[in-house]
Amino acid sequence: MNRRTCLEALLPHVTDQLVVASVSGQWIWGQLSKHDGNLLLGSMGNALGVGMGMALGLPHRKVIVIESDGSVLLSLFNLPTLGTLNPKNLVVFVFDNEAYSGSRISRPSATAAKTDIAAIARDSGISRAMTVRDIDAFNREMSSAIKGPGLGFIVAKVEETFEHRNAERSDVDLVENKYRFVRYVERTEGKPIFLGRG
């Protein structure tokens, strides 16, 4: 199982949800999905927090976060906060390849040794936190989490792949992406997001 096969499986399930991706997931997701509700952050350690804020700010709307082991490890304080706040409309996918693959020399992350992100999440109060190790399990848990209510936290153990190192980069600037996302939320929620008119 690798990140692309998982994201390809996720793709048909994404309709009107809001999707936030950290830098490690955004290359593949950005290629696969042209959904206006995608916010591709281009940084590590931020997607889970931003997704939490969206889920709290728009509690009737499902929010999906695409994270990685390195990015979650950078902001581990998110897990106790997530367990405490427990937003019912948030699903988090952590693609754990046990490496800092973006470093181009693939240094191992702590999950290659003894760290278990799903266990940390469970001990932080996220009861529906689990690790999946094959595509069938991913499909089953992903589908259930997307369709059902409640906070979902799925750590997918994936093989390290290297396609992102040669992938064509998007020419959509982060600010352009933000406006596309915000206009999508405005259209679908029927309310202005940014105040202050010209």
Q: Candidates 71-79, 91-99, 108-116, 126-134 — which segment interacts with other proteins by CB under 8 A?
A: 71-79
State the nearest-atom distance from the C-beta of 68 to other proteins, in Å: 15
| Nearer of residues 148 and 192 to other proteins, judged by Cβ | 192
| Nearer of residues 84 and 127 to other proteins, judged by Cβ | 84
Choosing from 61, 122, 128, 180, the residue that interacts with other proteins (CB under 8 A) is: 61
Choosing from 56, 119, 167, 172, the residue that interacts with other proteins (CB under 8 A) is: 56
Does the protein bind other proteins through residue 131 (CB under 8 A)?
no
State the nearest-atom distance from the C-beta of 184 to other proteins, in Å: 10
Read off the amino acid at residue 57.
Answer: G
Burial readout 23-32 (b: 16 or more C-beta within 10 A, e: otherwise): bbbbbbbbee
Alpha carbons within 13 A on the beta-carbon side of 77: 2
State the nearest-atom distance from the C-beta of 91 to other proteins, in Å: 15
> What is the phi/psi pair of residue 192, to 5°?
-75, 145
The residue among 32, 20, 158 whose CA lies nearest residue 89 is 20
Does the protein bind other proteins through residue 162 (CB under 8 A)?
no
Alpha helical stretches, state H, the chain: 3-10, 23-32, 47-57, 69-74, 78-85, 117-123, 135-147, 163-166, 174-189
Task: Map residues 165-184 to x or -, x wherever contact with other proteins holds by CB under 8 A.
Answer: ---------xx--x--xx--
Give rounded-to-5 percent helix, strand, coil for the chain: 45, 20, 35
Read off the amino acid at residue 149.
Answer: P
| Nearer of residues 43 and 106 to other proteins, judged by Cβ | 43
Sheet with 129-132, strands from edge to edge, namely 38-40, 18-21, 63-68, 90-96, 152-157, 129-132
State the nearest-atom distance from the C-beta of 117 to other proteins, in Å: 16
| Positions that interact with other proteins (CB under 8 A) | 18, 20, 39, 41-43, 45-46, 48-58, 61, 75, 77-78, 80-81, 84-85, 174-175, 178, 181-182, 185, 189, 191-196
